[in-house]
Structure 1
């Protein structure tokens, strides 16, 4: 009598949602370690230990320790592109993202602002992270162009759309860097028991910086 087929041995495959969650946990842990001891001193083993996975798992998700931070940045790019697609006719550009920072319910669960701020500050002194930061913005530009094309009508490869996306991309990066580099460089990611007053003040400063940058960029985007 032929034995019935046996089920697949080993662990069940991870869902895409669980994979994304693991990638984000690795990204957060990497930034915290980079802030605490620098990129050079941080190993894949340490990053893995911080989230309860092996170094092999870290390298399965990321080709280098610097690239571990990509999920934090890509989540922000996806958020920005979504808001661009929802940009209403006649709505001031400088108001486009205000709700994302003033309403806690609208803030995405992925890239918390304290962690991303710490990461952006590191890009000023860590060449490997700077390369990842600039590469992400290079990859973001066509994403923004497609979002603007969906809103306005002209194709994403239209020269006007391409220029508008480049202007918006540059304004966004300049605003984020301007804000992050002028915050306390000795402060790492905010802990869970941090005061809400300081967080609210930081949010207000970020909103003001973004508003100023987008006010300038809006002259060429309307």
Structure 2
């Protein structure tokens, strides 16, 4: 379990991220300064810059949160069950959490703002070795094996595409639940499992 100091640091980073998204949505990314984000949170600019190198990177905790949940769920994936069945079962048992509207707003912003897009892609790039290690342990292979790396990249891409599809399709539905994200995720994983039909 993380120490109290680590939990406080994580809570502050999430608070900074939420305020950054709120300000970005209200006045645009270019119209928002790091100083405004710090002021909205009630911290000094110096404290903000200790946690994040750029104003755009302030949103990374929110973007990483969904990936962290997905990776955590995959750690409980039974060896005898295939991925699509596992996700469908998780959906039926209500184990997929609802997505916070602020995260959906942020994911939508990553499609139009290049700097936020870079942070979104960085979050997925950071998740890639974790997914590769998980698949390697499951298959008894090495995380450096090309086949494992391709499968991890495919899974990672499906997670990203499902998140973006969900954010786009449910932009006007603040009550969208875990069932809708599960539907998007299953559709993306089915497409991935079909391979390349070209």
TM over 0.5: yes
Secondary structure at 1:15 match in 2: helix
TM-score normalised to structure 2 length? 0.85
**CA–CA distance in 2 between the matches of 1:177 and 1:129?**
13
Query: Could you tell me which residue of structure 1 aligns to residue 151 of structure 2?
Result: 164
TM-aligned CA deviation for residue 17 of structure 1: 1.4
Q: CA deviation at 1:97?
A: 4.5
For residues 181 and 156 of structure 1, the distance between their equivalents in structure 2, rounded to whole angstroms, comes to 33
2:110 matched residue in structure 1: 123
Number of aligned residues: 191
Equivalent residues in 2 for 1:1-222 (5 A)? 15-97=5-87, 99=90, 103=94, 107=97, 112-184=99-171, 199=175, 201-219=176-194
Checking the alignment, whether the CA contact within 8 Å between 1:83 and 1:97 is kept in structure 2 is: no
User: How far 1:77 sits from its partner (Å)?
Assistant: 2.3
**What is the alpha-carbon distance in structure 1 between the residues aligned to residue 56 and residue 141 of structure 2?**
37
Answer whether contact 1:94 1:211 (CA < 8 A) is retained.
Answer: yes
Structure 1: gaps (5+ residues): 1-13, 191-197
User: What is the CA–CA distance in structure 1 between the aligned matches of 2:33 and 2:24, rounded to whole Å?
Assistant: 10
| Superimposed CA distance per residue, residues 34-79 of structure 1 (whole angstroms, 9 cap, x where no aligned partner) | 1111101111122112222112211111010000011112222222
d(CA) in 1 for partners of 2:56, 2:40: 16
Instruction: Tell me the secondary structure at the aligned position of residue 138 of structure 1.
Output: helix
Given that 1:85 and 1:150 are in contact with CA atoms closer than 8 Å, whether structure 2 keeps it comes out as no
* Partner deviation per Cα, 1:126-166 (whole Å, 9 max, x = no partner): 11101111122122211110111122211111122111101
Aligned CA distance change for structure 1 residues 32 and 158 (closer, same or farther; 3 Å): same
The CA RMSD measured in Å over matched residues stands at: 2.5
| More displaced stretch, 18-27 vs 45-54 | 45-54
Whole-angstrom distance in 1 between the partners of 2:141 and 2:52: 36
1:101/1:59 Cα in 2 relative to 1: closer, same or farther (>3 Å)? farther
In terms of Rg, which structure is larger?
1
User: SS where residue 24 of structure 1 aligns?
Assistant: helix
Aligned mates of 1:46, 1:142 — CA distance in 2: 35
Q: CA deviation at 1:202?
A: 4.3
1:8 aligned partner? none
